[in-house]
Structure 1
Amino acid sequence: MLSPSTKAACWLTTFLSVFVTGELPIQSEAEPEFLQALENHTVTQGRDVHFTCVVNHLSNYRVAWIKSDSKAILAIHTNMVALNPRLSVTYNNHNTWKLHVSNVQANDSGTYMCQVNTDPMKSQMGHLSVVIPPDIIDTVTEGSSAREGGSVRLTCSATGVPPPTVMWRREHSKPIVFRHDGGRERKVVETFRGESLELGHVQRTDMGAYYCIASNGVPPTVSRRYHVQVHFIPQVKVTNQLVGAPLGSDVELQCYIEASPKAMNSWYREDSLVSDKLLENPKFRIAETAMNEYSLWMNLTIKSLAPADYGTYVCASVNALGKMESQVSLHRLELSMNGYAEEPMVSGAAQRTRSRPAASHAHYVPPPQMFAILLTLRYVHTY
């Protein structure tokens, strides 16, 4: 039994066929028959697609195209009924009709029917599924920041058909670390699935780029970059608190700095009358080498040491959260027949940082000309 709606569609098709062609369908001895099933299609939004309906022994009957879910008649023979410029019908003048849908959109999804207005009506159906690549919707400002020990929450929403899955990954495959309330590591993963990524008790090692990646099997996969900033007071450490070098030599003082947000870093003489920062000149060379986005080496090279160059040098770093500094005592080494003998170290070599490393002494390696002088002196002393 045909449903009332199907019967109505059949009678309407027959009426429109008569209206368009001016002829009533004449039944022949051979009944119309479909030679192949109407295909199903899965198409990406924006592409083109067509359904193919092959009917033999059509005689004076007419082929109609109907959108089954809405019961809307789209076309009869090659005459369009639907007012949709993206729909069209072609006929090969034999037994094949094609319904074309161009620039497919989401609302084109559904069941399509190829129908012959026999009594009872003959029809076959095919389904069109429209899939949509994933797209990321910005719900929050890109990036997030927190003080060290605080929390960061990143949110990334994605749309698409079928609904996409969202995964988080760090840049350069760094681990994503989840911590207990006390700050101890709870779980370390390479990827995390979910629209929201919440990091508690963040540390400076959590800084960097995080990628939200959305995929649903429909190319292309999309991603969005979020940057996490972790802020803390600068930390400054010198490699040696006590450095000795002879007159006329070059010496390098090394300082390691960690700071976020970006800090102003400088070297200056603590025991000078004016404690201005040291600037680049023929005597002083300052070189910064970044290790990552929050740490760097800032080394001070002093050329051709003179008596006035000995004293206390301070490596300092200051940002919006505070200031920290550390000291290096540079003292003179005297040449003797048995090698180098140190003069008493300059006073005031305390390091003004929260954690004070054990004092160490940098052994100075003299240049080749100094070795030549030493060997000459030993030769004269011997003979």
Structure 2
Amino acid sequence: MLIHKSGKLFIQLILNIQNIILFTYTNNCLAKEYNSIDSINSLNEKDFPNEDYNNKPYFAEIMSNVTVQVGRPVKFQCVVENLGTRQVAWVRKDKHTLLALGKEVISKNSRIDVSNHTDKIFSLKLDPVREEDRGEYMCQINSSPVIDQSAFLRVTVPPYFVEDQTSSDTDVDENDSVSLRCTARGFPAPTIEWRREDKESIDALSPSSISSSSDNKNVRTVQGTFLNLSQVRRQHMGVYLCIASNGIPNSVSKRIFLGVKFPPLVWTPLQRVGSPLNGEVTLNCIVDAYPKPDCYWMKTSTRQIILDNSKYSTSITSNSFKYEVTLTIKNVDYQDFTSYSCVGKNVLSEASGTIVLFEIPRPSTQRAVINSITSPPSKEVTKNRKNYLGNTKNSLNSDSSDKEKLNFASFKTNSYKNDIPSEQITMQTEDGVTTTDDLTESMADSSSKELITSWSIGFLIVSHLMITFN
């Protein structure tokens, strides 16, 4: 009976020892809760017997909100007086996350670092800052009651385009409608502005609606995510700039090419072009088309395409949908006097324009000479001289006067468009060469003599009549 009672007492003693151990372990676990934000609020003054209760901790400065661009470092600073044996904790308040306690970083974030200068200035640094770091940060002291202060981190983000929500280069048929889109993000939210790269007005040449909200005609810029064009024409073709900005350097822009498809149109500034033999001449035509056309020259009669060689050379220069096509012909001969076709061809259609090349006399640099001969010009007379003297039908004879010969030479010269001034026309006789000036003077002297003789005869007749009547 006594043994039985002793056993019960022993068991009770063991249970009491277990309760004491469990109580101690529980207290230790509660003490470890200082590492969480909830345990900081549960601490009280009796846990710090060495604290000077007449000098409680306080914040000497107010934390300031910080604005920083994404990718750069940022630092929060907390200034505390009378901290004593207390500790400073850093908390992400909006997400209820403990970041650091004292000198230890709790969060598993390699970009976070904590430091302190003496026992008054405590810092929390993030480097580099990410967009998700935007929020409210708190500096907390585990006093009783707990005191804290917080500041807001504003992370700015330069504008950037969302590629899968932004238009790329676009082709559209003439007279159709098209909507160009630009989507940009950033912080603050960016604004979108449209303009033409060539600085021309938007919708300057057709009554389109160029805004998702209103009609904008002949404007330099358009605001909004969308640029809507209706009844587009070839004059709408070009590069449009989508510019996104939010006040954070730098603004960004995207080039979007709008192509307006239409069949070729060919026009020739000159439909007839003249050239002398053995000369060099250039033919020009303009081709309007999109998509880009194949442009070439060919002889109209044979439909033979002209390729570049020592005699022919071609060139093409373009500006938007306009193409200037040239053909240069060197050492022009009789076979080159024909018509040429300028051809423009794309996937939609084909068009051509025709230019006729004809012969013109080569301008003469020699003095025209008229021979006093009765027979037709000999075979040795040059071609140019034949132009001046004419053929055997119209040749001058020896009985013709000098004045008739001069007029005939001038007529022949002008009829062949040689444009030789009269002072350059000479008359060749057996006595030598007489210029037109000498001929004019001689004719003037002859006329004067005839006039004086006529007056003298008239005067004698009048005098004789007066004497007779008297």
Q: TM-score interval w.r.t. the shorter chain?
A: 0.7 to 0.9
Q: Which residue of 1 aligns with 2:312?
A: 284
Q: Structure 1 residues 147, 90: closer, same or farther in 2, change over 3 A?
A: same
CA contact (8 A) 1:27 1:60 kept: no
Q: CA deviation at 1:11?
A: 5.6
1:338 counterpart (407, 413, 421): 413
2:220 counterpart (190, 193, 198): 190
SS at match of 1:308: helix
SS at match of 1:280: coil
2:196 counterpart (170, 174, 182): 170
Q: Which residue of 2 aligns with 1:357?
A: none
Q: Structure 1 residues 70, 254: closer, same or farther in 2, change over 3 A?
A: closer
Distance 1:182 1:75 in 2: 58
1:304 and 2:305 are equivalent in the alignment:
no
CA contact (8 A) 2:266 2:352 kept: yes
CA contact (8 A) 1:17 1:76 kept: no
Distance 2:173 2:269 in 1: 27
Taking only aligned residues, the RMSD between alpha carbons, in angstroms, comes to 3.1
Q: CA deviation at 1:14?
A: 5.5
Distance 2:157 2:52 in 1: 45
Distance 2:328 2:354 in 1: 15
SS at match of 2:218: strand
1:136 and 2:136 are equivalent in the alignment:
no
Give deviations 1:250-283, integer Å, cap 9, x for gaps: 2222211111111111211122xx3111122333
Question: Superposed, which structure 2 residues align to 1:318-337 within 5 Å?
Answer: 318-334=345-361, 336=387, 337=412
Q: Which residue of 2 aligns with 1:378?
A: 425
Identical aligned residues as a percent: 31
Instruction: Kindly provide the amino acid, as one letter, of the partner of residue 413 in structure 2.
Output: N
Distance 2:245 2:200 in 1: 21
Give deviations 1:263-321, integer Å, cap 9, x for gaps: 111211122xx31111223332223233x021122122222332222122111111111
Q: CA deviation at 1:46?
A: 1.9
Q: CA deviation at 1:92?
A: 1.6
With a CA cutoff of 8 Å and minimum separation of 6, indicate the structure with the bigger relative contact order.
1
1:157 counterpart (183, 186, 198): 183
Q: CA deviation at 1:75?
A: 2.0
Distance 1:308 1:258 in 2: 30
Q: Which residue of 2 aligns with 1:239?
A: 269
Distance 2:200 2:335 in 1: 48
Instruction: Kindly provide the amino acid, as one letter, of the partner of residue 324 in structure 1.
Output: A
Question: Superposed, which structure 2 residues align to 1:1-383 within 5 Å?
Answer: 12-13=39-40, 26-138=51-163, 139=165, 142-177=168-203, 179-180=206-207, 187-271=217-301, 274-290=302-318, 292-334=319-361, 336=387, 337-339=412-414, 341=416, 378-379=425-426, 383=434
CA contact (8 A) 2:158 2:187 kept: yes
Q: Structure 1 residues 380, 254: closer, same or farther in 2, change over 3 A?
A: farther
Which is helix-richer, 1 or 2? 2
Q: Structure 1 residues 96, 334: closer, same or farther in 2, change over 3 A?
A: closer
Q: Structure 1 residues 150, 24: closer, same or farther in 2, change over 3 A?
A: farther
Q: CA deviation at 1:380?
A: 5.5
Q: Structure 1 residues 75, 55: closer, same or farther in 2, change over 3 A?
A: same
CA contact (8 A) 2:178 2:228 kept: yes
Q: Structure 1 residues 378, 311: closer, same or farther in 2, change over 3 A?
A: farther
Distance 2:49 2:106 in 1: 19
Distance 2:58 2:288 in 1: 81
Distance 1:122 1:177 in 2: 63
SS at match of 1:188: coil
SS at match of 1:189: coil
Give deviations 1:93-144, integer Å, cap 9, x for gaps: 3311111122222222222121222222222111111122211012255111
CA contact (8 A) 1:143 1:154 kept: no
Q: Structure 1 residues 182, 117: closer, same or farther in 2, change over 3 A?
A: closer
Instruction: Kindly provide the amino acid, as one letter, of the partner of residue 338 in structure 1.
Output: T
SS at match of 1:30: coil
CA contact (8 A) 2:61 2:79 kept: yes
SS at match of 1:187: coil
Identify unmatched segments of 5+ residues in structure 2: 1-35, 363-386, 388-411, 435-470
Q: Structure 1 residues 150, 95: closer, same or farther in 2, change over 3 A?
A: same
Q: Structure 1 residues 17, 375: closer, same or farther in 2, change over 3 A?
A: farther
Instruction: Kindly provide the amino acid, as one letter, of the partner of residue 163 in structure 1.
Output: A
Return 74-83 or 32-41, whichever deviates more.
74-83
Distance 1:28 1:40 in 2: 32
Distance 2:112 2:216 in 1: 57
Q: What TM-score, normalized to structure 2?
A: 0.65
Q: Structure 1 residues 10, 311: closer, same or farther in 2, change over 3 A?
A: closer
Q: CA deviation at 1:24?
A: 6.2
Q: Which residue of 1 aligns with 2:6?
A: none
SS at match of 2:259: strand
SS at match of 2:94: coil
CA contact (8 A) 1:25 1:61 kept: no
Which is strand-richer, 1 or 2? 1
